[in-house]
Structure 1
Amino acid sequence: MSCLTRSFQTLVLSTIPVNISSPKILGTVRYMAKYVEKPEIGRGKSFRRIVHFPEEYTVKPLGVTNLAGRDPNSGRVVVKGIGGGIKHKYHWIEWKREGPSEGAPQIERVMKVIKDGCRTAFVALVAYNDKLKYILATENMKAGDIIRTSSYIPRIPVRPNEGDAYPLGALPIGTQVNCIEKYPGFGGTLVHAAGTYATILRKAPDDHIVVMMPSKREFSLPAICMCTVGRISNVEHSSTPIGSAQRNRELGNRPRSGLWQRKKGIHGRKIRRPPPVQTIARKDKGNTEIVTFSCDRPLIPTKFHQFHY
């Protein structure tokens, strides 16, 4: 029936004169819905902010548009509990650590180490000749340090310092590394969080190196993949409590319907420890007192139960 209605709505009768009034068929506008594509969660989008990247790399802080958990196209709320907070600038990280493929390594100097509000780890400003770039700072990195970058794999493993960048095949077994390339020349994509590190376990066939991630998962990566030596800075990030609800709002987190709800209490009753075990035993019959009634009169049934004798 609905198909016939739609077909009649599209008909145009050209033979009917203009002066004759003809009935008009109104469309079902009330029930027409606009199709909107639903955004996918976990496909590389956090729905927290949009960074406005320029065409060329720069060390100037970049502008940010906060999304507050909404999809930028449809404007619908995708992720709850996101919004507000202190506005921060974004520092563009140079994920590729490129060095000479042979000869002496490239020497760089750390200018300063700063805190970035858009990530958990600290950020270091590194200078080489007349070029500046941002990298993720390691645990003990400070201003004035000298770091080296090389893409050469020698026959004997090198003895690296913290902050140096070498291929996986050039480092000894047991070295702690971060910012590891998943594919050669793709840039560091693994181990970015504060206080994390991966460990080089052993060599594998076909010029591969087995690396254990912070999640204890092992990856076999090509030996020519670049990585940074050391542990990511801000080690105490995971063990530092937020401290207050206001601090949590400053971080950009909104209140969520959790375990404790002060107003309702329907889903958030306070969890208390159960009472201790109570032992129930039968009393001793030897100490019971025997009670005898001394009333000798006969019982007289009455309509009042409390006066039945």
Structure 2
Amino acid sequence: MFFSQIIRKLGALESSLNSISFVSSRNAGNYIEKPLIGHGKSFRRIVHYPEEYTVKPLEVTNLGGRDPVSGRLVVKGIGGGIKHKYHWIAWKREGPKEGPPQVERVIKVIKDGCRTTFVALVAVDDKLKYILATENMKAGDIIRTSCYIPRIPVRPFEGDAYPLGALPIGTKINCVEKYPGLGGFLVHAAGTCATIMRKAANNHVVIQMPSKKEFSLPEICMCTVGRLSNGEHWNTPIGSAQKNRELGNRPRSGWWQRKTGRFGRKIRRLPPVLTIGPKQPSNSEEIKFTLENYNHTRN
């Protein structure tokens, strides 16, 4: 009787232990799912935006490659660096939809530590805003903004903002809207530009990106004329390990392997033109099948 009670208690204890999962404190962090990289999150800094637009430099919180929610290290190559304040860019270039364009004046061109291209302070009436500076933009320049698409393409000057449909073929552009009213979404890096290639159907314009890919965008999408500034950014050597740390990059593992090119390089065909915009109605004929003339009687 005594031994049977002991065996019964041991069986109950074994069943309870099977329902408990033991994880050592050393490996407890391995069971937490890490955030995914490249899904709209920036693990370098968080910008503290106010409620209204301002040209005052904004405070930032450097993340050092860690997720702001869980605090786990996601990107190992980010960390340290000089703290820079953020200049809020007005991505939307809004102008009159008819009549003469809006005239703006460039106050100064400055360097922003949070981006590769230079930033220009622009005055519009009694308001100030920041835009991305083009290649030859300097203080005192007059730039224009218009949302009107004339019958004859306009003569563009560097820094002007027009819809894609108002510019001639071959114009170099930057800060291109992906959708009307979205603001400059494409081509932000220093020294880059897109090119207007041709007109397309359904009031679309085909542009060629710096990667040689072609997009078909609505002609009412706004863009800025010219190539972006600081084109020598990509050709400037870092020079030392200390300078690389000042840029916010952590040391690499040190493992390096020479690329001999033995297996060659795969040169693939460019993808077809990607049409971006509202879905167009199809012209295919709709066929309906019914059972009105179906004979239900069996022979």
Is the structural similarity TM-score above 0.5?
yes
State yes or no: 1:129 paired with 2:125.
yes
**Equivalent residue for 2:68?**
72
Counterpart in 2 of 1:241? 237
In the alignment, does 2:124 pair up with 1:89? no
Choose the corresponding residue for 2:104, options 89, 100, 108. 108
Distance 1:107 1:164 in 2: 9
Find the counterpart in structure 2 of residue 186 from structure 1: 182
Aligned to 1:226: 222
Distance 1:154 1:7 in 2: 83
What amino acid maps onto 1:31 in structure 2? Answer: V
Partner of 1:117: 113
Give yes or no for contact 1:95–1:187 (8 Å, CA) kept in 2.
yes
What is the aligned partner in structure 2 of residue 170 from structure 1?
A: 166
State yes or no: 1:31 paired with 2:27.
no
Using a 3 Å threshold, how does the CA distance of structure 1 residues 128 and 271 change in structure 2: closer, same or farther?
closer
Pair 1:44 & 2:40 matched:
yes
Q: Secondary structure at the match of 1:201?
A: strand
The number of residues matched between the two structures is 246
- Say what the alpha-carbon RMSD is for the aligned residues: 2.4
CA gap 1:218/1:6 in 2 versus in 1, 3 angstroms: farther
Amino acid paired to 2:104:
E
> Which whole-Å CA distance do the structure 2 matches of 1:101 and 1:253 have between them?
45
CA pair 59-28 structure 1, distance change in 2 beyond 3 A: same
Aligned to 2:253: 257
Q: Equivalents in 2 of 1:253, 1:163: separation in Å?
A: 33
2:115 partner letter: R
Q: For structure 1, which segment, 79-88 or 31-40, has the greater mean C-alpha deviation from structure 2 after superposition?
A: 31-40
Percent of aligned positions with the same letter in both sequences?
76
Supply the distance in 1 between the matched residues of 2:32 and 2:92 (Cα, whole angstroms).
Answer: 38
Match of 1:299 in 2: none
The 10-residue stretch of structure 1 (157-166 or 250-259) with the greater mean CA deviation from structure 2: 250-259
* CA deviation string 1:12-47 (max 9, x = no partner): xxxxxxxxxxxxx99847439686442111112230
Gaps of 5+ in 2: 1-10, 261-299
Using structure 1 for the length normalisation, give the TM-score. 0.75
Contact 1:197 1:231 in 2 (8 A): yes
Distance 1:70 1:271 in 2: 31
| Offset, 1:259 | 3.1
Task: Name the residue aligned to 2:140.
Answer: 144
CA deviation profile, 1:262-303 (whole Å, cap 9, x unmatched): xxxxxx7x999xxxxxxxxxxxxxxxxxxxxxxxxxxxxxxx
- Find out whether 1:217 has 2:209 as its counterpart: no
Matched-pair contact (CA < 8 Å) for 1:36–1:74 = no
**CA distance in 2 between partners of 1:157 and 1:129 (Å):** 27
Contact residue 99 and residue 106 of structure 1 kept, 8 A: yes
Aligned CA distance change for structure 1 residues 133 and 29 (closer, same or farther; 3 Å): same
| Equivalent position SS for 2:130 | strand
Q: 2:23 & 2:249 partners in 1: Cα distance?
A: 37
- Residue 238 of structure 1 aligns to a residue in which SS? helix
Q: Secondary structure at the match of 1:199?
A: strand
Contact residue 70 and residue 79 of structure 1 kept, 8 A: yes
- Residue 47 of structure 1 contacts residue 79 of structure 1 at CA under 8 Å; is this kept in 2? yes
CA radius of gyration, larger in? 1
CA distance in 1, matches of 2:162, 2:74: 40
In 1, Cα distance between equivalents of 2:13 and 2:59: 50
Could you tell me which runs of 5 or more consecutive residues in structure 1 were left unpaired when the two chains were aligned. 10-24, 261-267, 273-309
Q: Deviations over 1:200-226 (max 9, x none)?
A: 000001110000000000000000000
Question: What are the Cα deviations for residues 44-103 of structure 1, in whole angstroms up to 9, with x where unaligned?
Answer: 223000001111111000010000000111111100111111000000000000000000
Amino acid aligned to 2:45 = R
Distance 1:271 1:194, change over 3 A: closer
